[in-house]
Chains A and B, each alone.
Chain A
């Protein structure tokens, strides 16, 4: 009884802080919209293959380029495939590819940033200059050139996205760590005789996490952008995969006579990108109040 009481008391400020955050959220309707869109797409990605009325590869040449109807609510494409099913299944593709790429970039970027800032000196200087060189090549260009020599495939796209965004994540993490390093709790841990690794992962890392979460959501939206663009250029995921960028690329040939071939995959990309953008902005407001875009 006493226990529950005291834990209740401890929880109270947390709850009021949470409700304060939620109240602030209501001032920014875009954040709510963003989170709802992202959750919707996650659900579609998980359930897509079960909801889809047809298999995404099922061709029916008698039914090619049919406008939206009861049996094909998004219409059919140039092979008579059901566009609704392809868009549904494709959501898994884009989320998995962009999501894995982002996770790779966040993980390695975090390690680079942490160690570079913590070690400092020449090591830091060299590592950051290498990052600057990677940053001095436009990401899409570098992705195109790398995929051109690795060959286009889903795994290669993930690797490329993961590699390309390491420098940006590393920069953010590094600047946060540099600031944290001078704080007293880090000094205290050092005086206690804790090891560097302990200080890095137990004292510093937890304070980097909010920045990392915001960075991850931003990188995620960039990754979707990049993955879709690569698919469109024919350098990303290959047919017959229902990749949205690829579908839009194919649609270029057909949308003069059948607009729905373009509208639905393009609309799906637009909706997801907008949703992730809104979500990322909201995350920044909640986790890093007082940041640049909060003014």
Chain B
């Protein structure tokens, strides 16, 4: 196991290295010149040339990359081009906001998805199964901006249960943010719910076929004990993996959801940065998301291996 984790860590390091090269080089193909973006279109050529020199933009690309990557690792992520503020505290504050939203969403969709999945498995091929499978299949593919805006239209504007806009002060505490988190969290949950329900359903059906479940049933244990102690302990294995992977996947889903609600998380910061062509922000924000994505995938694999000794992944 230790060897396996080590191997995966080396792979993540290589992945992050290559991803950073990809992100750095893509952002170099900008339509406009960075110096011109900073100074505006009426700047004189000399002013632009001076700024290019100052920012080190006249150096060879690979030197610029090594410089950027080195600073990034050391924690110097540069200053935002639009607000002139250092990027790192900004990204970190937004990241904790995104984490609050993601945590809230996980609290909603994981238990609900497991319950729905178990019901579907127990009522396999009967109408509850068809209903649950149909609904989860429908929600899995629904883009967050569609479900988000429809939820706003019905629950916020129509019934006025929740605020329609979540553009809170970026430094809000969890309790202050809570009322504004519910609707975005439901939006994100709709997609995740389907994955969890499907994995739980197929995992549970697989386990229910086993002899030991029959044996537990036949020796007269109450149904709930058969379900919880003998079935779910094994059938939730694939679900655990999906939950861990979901953390990385959430980071992608948050980009759209946060934009819909105006919630000040990392996703919205990134969309803002792209609209303003704010290079340092784009680079740092993307790298953080890629890192979270990679590590949560690793966590998923390790958890799976630990919980299921029959399968030692990677051998």
A positions within 8 Å CB-CB of B: 27-30, 129, 132-133, 136-141, 144-146, 148-151, 221, 224-225, 228-229, 232-235, 245, 248-249, 251-252, 255-256, 259, 262-263, 266, 269-270, 273-274, 276-278, 281, 292-293, 295
Known contacts being A138-B251, A233-B256, is A248 close to B145, with CB within 8 Å?
Answer: yes
Determine whether the beta carbon of B205 is less than 8 Å from that of A295. Answer: yes
CA distance A278 to B297 in the complex (A): 28
CA distance A224 to B144 in the complex (A): 13
Known contacts being A30-B134, A138-B293, A148-B282, is A293 close to B145, with CB within 8 Å?
Answer: no
B positions within 8 Å CB-CB of A: 11, 14-15, 18-19, 22-23, 26-31, 125, 130, 133-134, 137-138, 140-147, 149-150, 153, 157, 164, 198, 202, 205-206, 248-249, 251-252, 255-256, 259-260, 270-271, 274-275, 277, 282, 286, 289-290, 293-294, 297
CA distance A138 to B286 in the complex (A): 9
For residue A221, which residues in chain B have a CB less than 8 angstroms away from its CB?
141
For residue B275, which residues in chain A have a CB less than 8 angstroms away from its CB?
234
CA distance A273 to B194 in the complex (A): 14
Contacting residue for A281 out of B28, B137, B256, B270, CB 8 A: B137
Q: Which 10 A-B pairs have the closest CB atoms?
A: A138-B252, A149-B29, A273-B141, A277-B141, A274-B138, A232-B145, A133-B18, A136-B15, A266-B146, A148-B274
For residue B147, which residues in chain A have a CB less than 8 angstroms away from its CB?
270
Determine whether the beta carbon of B19 is less than 8 Å from that of A137. Answer: yes
Determine whether the beta carbon of B143 is less than 8 Å from that of A232. Answer: yes
Determine whether the beta carbon of B146 is less than 8 Å from that of A251. Answer: no
CA distance A277 to B139 in the complex (A): 10
Q: What are 22 contact pairs spanning A and B, CB under 8 A?
A: A30-B134, A137-B19, A138-B251, A138-B252, A138-B290, A140-B256, A141-B252, A141-B255, A145-B286, A148-B274, A148-B282, A149-B27, A229-B256, A233-B255, A259-B153, A269-B143, A270-B138, A273-B142, A274-B141, A277-B140, A278-B138, A295-B205
For residue B138, which residues in chain A have a CB less than 8 angstroms away from its CB?
270, 273-274, 277-278
